[in-house]
Amino acid sequence: MSPSAVDNPVLDVIVVGAGIAGLAAALAIHDAGHNVKIVEGATVLREIGAGVLISSNATRELIRWGLEDDLRDVIVQSRVSRVLRWDNGDVLSEVKMDPSIALKKYDAPVWMLHRADLHTAMLKKVQSLGIEIRLGSRVLDADVDTASVTLASGEVLYADFIVGADGVRSKMRDIISQKPVPALPTGDYAFQFALEIEKYKDDPVIAPLVEGHAATAWWGPGRHVIGTLLRGEKLFNCVAVFPDDGSLGDEHKQLGADVDELRRNFSDWCPAVRTILFHADPRSIVKWKLQDLDPLKSWHRGHAVLIGDACHPMLPYLAQGASQAIEDGAVLAQCLANLPLDRVGLAFQDLRFARATQIQQNARKQKTENHYPDGPEQRARDERLKDPTQVRAWQWEPVVGKPTKNWNDGLFGYDSKVECEEYFKEHEAGRTLVKQAA
């Protein structure tokens, strides 16, 4: 390989991991005109988990990649967002949401999707484009200077660039950091299950919760429950978060959990929560350990970068994990299309670090707010929530030469193309490196 100034260099890129981050990177990098190969340790791809909020900053990318029609039948656009008190169901906050506002203001919609539906649509698109996915291909090691990965089988794969999209328990993170960097337990578990709305359309407790396209959350001491409509409003998806008792050990996820444990943890909560949990089918419950990561010093080394949960896992309190993974893929593809390879990693981190870190930090703040014990802080929070404009009334950290943005404008209004174009112009970027036959 040697430097060569050409107009349209084509790179070979290996993506490690076939979750949402890996598929997003593959779609974006392919769209930029490069060759992509995905390697995944699992022998079967099956995405499990809860609903994901795909806000305008990420739906604009999915639409660019041609996924809107594939998702149309499973999209939900919530029209009411409620927060209720844990013990009696009193309304703490109710915000009306007009789906057309986000489209008009940010030029892209807001979607609520089941994680599995999003993953399935992205996977089908990847396959339709002829992008190779190698399952059962666990990465044992990688050389980030030669851009090669060694699989558990002993096979070595060579490329021009490596993308580490292998999740919160990332092997590529250890390789790029040159030391083990384990994910940190947050002290919480999450249980997820879904109820088929048709079965409960006449239930006096559950039916009102799904009327009016609503998303409902109950906040209480050390715990919370969220119920959202998914799959074209056919499912009422529920997530319950409560303290980690150590029963999962080192496991990250478990399918088919102890429903009695779930019910015990909310036995003194309001009738609506107890009713929802009563109907949970033990066979369908997913239990997972919520894990986090302190900001890394570097997301890159040599010709390799980390994206998504591998470098900035997002606690689910802001439902931004999938959206940020999608943004990562879009930004990385533009860096690969416009920069010499030895500048890609640094530029990607420059473009993404501050934003992802602020979202991580605010997700941690949201966890604290959700779980206040009854007392002065909880009463102050409840009083503030009465004003809809004070729900997540955060500001983004100021950027020199740019106006300070409120939380929604900075989150929903983000456009990777605009951000990258400004960055490249500022840094007078230009691609100068491409693989060349010896």
Which range (2-11, 44-53, 105-114, 194-203) has the least confidence?
A: 2-11
What is the per-residue pLDDT for 4?
34
pLDDT, tens digit, 9 for 90 and up, residues 285-304: 888 889 899 999 999 999 99
Task: Kindly report, residue by residue over 243-258, the tens digit of the pLDDT.
Answer: 988 777 777 767 666 7
- pLDDT confidence band for 208 (50 / 70 / 90): confident
When pLDDT is cut at 50, 70 and 90, the band that residue 433 belongs to is: very low
pLDDT of residue 402: 76
Domain made up of 2-75+108-183+293-372+394-434: CATH architecture: 3-Layer(bba) Sandwich (3.50)
pTM of the model: 0.92
Answer whether 92's CB lies under 8 Å from 83's CB.
yes
Q: Give yes or no for residue 7 having a pLDDT over 90.
A: no
State pLDDT tens for residues 96-119.
888 888 899 999 999 999 999 999
Q: What is the mean pLDDT of residues 379-388?
A: 91
The arithmetic mean of pLDDT across residues 376-382, rounded, is 95
Write down the domain spans for the chain.
2-75+108-183+293-372+394-434
> 90-117 burial string, b = 16+ CB within 10 Å, else e?
eebbeeebebeebeeebebbbbbbbbbb
Quote the CA–CA distance of 319 and 215 in Å, as a whole number: 13
- CA triple 151-152-158, angle to 5 deg: 10
Give Cα separations from 18 to 29, 47, 96, 434 (angstroms): 14, 10, 36, 26
State both tokens at 146.
Answer: 């030669």
346-375 confidence digits (pLDDT tens)? 999 999 999 999 999 999 999 999 999 999
* SS3 readout for the chain: CEECCCCCCCCEEEEECCCHHHHHHHHHHHHCCCEEEEECCCCCCCCCCCEEEECHHHHHHHHHCCCHHHHHHHCECCCEEEEEECCCCCEEEEEECCHHHHHHHHCCCCEEEEHHHHHHHHHHHHHHCCCEEECCCCEEEEECCCCEEEECCCCEEECCEEEECCCCCCHHHHHHHCCCCCCEEEEEEEEEEEEEHHHHCCCCCHHHHHCCCEEEEEEECCEEEEEEEECCCCEEEEEEEEECCCCCCCCCEEECCCHHHHHHHCCCCCHHHHHHHHCCCHHHCEEEEEEECCCCCCCEECCEEECHHHCCCCCCCCCCHHHHHHHHHHHHHHHHHHCCHHHHHHHHHHHHHHHHHHHHHHHHHHHHHHCCCCCHHHHHHHHHHCCHHHCCCCECCCCCCCCCCEHHHHHHCCCHHHHHHHHHHHCCCCCCEECCCC
Statement: residue 150 has pLDDT above 80 = yes
